[in-house]
């Protein structure tokens, strides 16, 4: 049933030819002359907002995980959209548009709960924005799937390692040394792959000994500036083709959940956060590898 809703609102399904709706490409915003079905899509959405409920739930769940653990909103949302046939560049553009709002709310919440290490923030935000611009340009003009299996396998290994450290209580806090390159790589992969900022940056900072709570808050706060930069780049390179009414569901769910993640990150013990990050990172990366192999 969920897939049926998704197919309907992202235009990836099909009906009888007499009532053929938008094709996947046109529904995702490619330039074309408006059809009668297209003209009626927005009034239909306004008349029956419940049609977006599945996407609201997905946005809520993904943002709870992302706000609490510093990762997975982009991975979860992009994986869903791409699995339904949405082109990677359009999925990435749509998700980052939503994240511009959700990460803004999440950042305010993390700052309010004092989850941000400002020294670390300034070390990752500029390289992240630079990497984001490069990644958005690459995926808008070139197929960027070559490195995906390698990155996913690497992240799955990091997830297992964090899971082990959290379970064995072997997390020793210390100042991370490799920071700026992580921001650059994380920003690039986030834009090019539709997700990767949190998994790359948060996990590798924790591996180096950074405090889980402030690492999660700092990475989430920096992500607002990253997604704003990436969305602006997509707007320049793609125009408005990715901004469909279907993203409203993800946006509503994400904004509602955004303040809650900071509370979870503040109250959960470091070892437990490591375990949860490890589980989420392993599952999302493993799912991506499985999809590539099947």
pLDDT in tens, 157-196: 777 877 877 777 665 678 888 999 999 998 988 777 666 7
Distances, alpha carbon 188 to alpha carbons 79, 134, 169, 246, 286, in Å: 18, 6, 32, 26, 21
Structure confidence at residue 142 as a pLDDT band (50, 70, 90):
low
Instruction: Report the C-alpha gap between 288 and 294 in whole angstroms.
Output: 10
The pLDDT value recorded for residue 244 is 61
Task: Please give the mean pLDDT across all residues of the chain.
Answer: 73
DSSP 8-state class, residue 169: T
Q: Which is more confidently placed, 146 or 128?
A: 128
Distance separating alpha carbons of residues 172 and 206, to the nearest angstrom: 10
pLDDT level of residue 14 (50, 70, 90 thresholds) = very low
Q: Are 63 and 106 in contact (CB under 8 A)?
A: yes
DSSP type of residue 13: S
More confident residue, 246 or 56: 56
The pLDDT tens digits for 221-264 are: 998 998 888 778 777 766 665 566 567 778 888 888 878 877 88
- Spatial neighbors of 112 by CB under 8 A, at least 6 apart, are 262
Q: Cα(74)–Cα(68) distance, rounded to whole angstroms?
A: 14
């Amino acid at each position: 049933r969920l897939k049926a809703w998704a197919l309907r609102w992202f235009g990836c399904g099909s009906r009888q030819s007499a009532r053929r709706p938008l094709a996947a490409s046109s529904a995702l915003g490619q330039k074309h002359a408006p059809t009668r079905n297209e003209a009626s899509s927005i009034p239909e959405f306004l008349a029956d907002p419940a049609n977006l409920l599945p996407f609201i739930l997905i946005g809520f769940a993904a943002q709870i995980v992302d706000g609490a653990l510093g990762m997975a909103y982009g991975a979860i949302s992009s994986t869903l959209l791409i699995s339904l046939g949405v082109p990677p560049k359009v999925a990435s553009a749509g998700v980052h548009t939503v994240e511009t709002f959700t990460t803004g709310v999440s950042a305010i919440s993390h700052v309010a709960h004092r989850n941000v290490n400002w020294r670390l923030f300034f070390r990752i935000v500029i390289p992240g924005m630079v990497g984001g611009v490069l990644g958005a340009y690459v995926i808008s003009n070139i197929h960027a799937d070559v490195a995906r299996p390698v990155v996913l396998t690497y992240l799955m290994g990091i997830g297992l390692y964090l899971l082990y450290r959290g379970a064995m209580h072997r997390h020793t806090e210390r100042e991370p040394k490799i920071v700026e390159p992580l921001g650059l790589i994380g920003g690039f992969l986030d834009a090019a792959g539709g997700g990767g900022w949190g998994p790359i940056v948060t996990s590798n900072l924790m591996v180096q000994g950074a405090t889980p709570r402030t690492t999660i808050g700092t990475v989430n706060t920096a992500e607002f500036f990253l997604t704003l930069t990436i969305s602006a780049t997509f707007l320049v390179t793609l125009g408005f083709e990715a901004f469909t009414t279907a993203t409203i569901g993800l946006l509503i769910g994400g904004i509602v959940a955004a303040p809650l993640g900071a509370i979870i990150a503040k109250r959960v013990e470091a070892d437990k956060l490591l375990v949860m990050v490890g589980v989420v990172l392993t599952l999302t990366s493993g799912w991506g590898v499985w999809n590539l192999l099947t």
